[in-house]
Amino acid sequence: MWIPDREIVVLVSEREKKIYLEGGGPIEQWPHRIGRHKEGAEFPVMAVRQLLIDQGYRVYVSGLSKVGIDSYSLAMFPGQRQDKAFDNTKHVLGLDDRALNEFLRLVSLRRARAGLGNHGGDPDLLAQHGQRLHDRFFVEVKAESRTYRDDLTDQQHIVFPLIKVHLQQRILLAKVHILGMERGRVRQGLWDAV
- If you average pLDDT over residues 173-188, what whole number do you get? 64
Shortest CA distance to 40 belongs to which of 148, 121, 127? 148
CA distance 119 to 149: 23
Q: Angle between the 84-93 and 97-114 helix axes, to the nearest 10 degrees?
A: 110
Three-state DSSP string of 4-31: CCEEEEEEEEHHHHHHHHCCCCCCCCCC
Q: Classify residue 94 by its DSSP letter.
A: T
Residue 155 backbone phi and psi in degrees, to 5: -60, -40
State the burial class of residue 19 (Cβ atoms within 10 Å of its Cβ: 0-12, 13-18, 19+). Answer: middle
Beta bridge partners of 127: 59, 137
pTM for the model: 0.86
pLDDT, one tens digit per residue, over 96-126 is: 999 999 999 999 999 999 999 888 899 999 9
**pLDDT tens-digit profile of 30-65?**
876 555 555 566 889 999 999 999 999 999 999 888
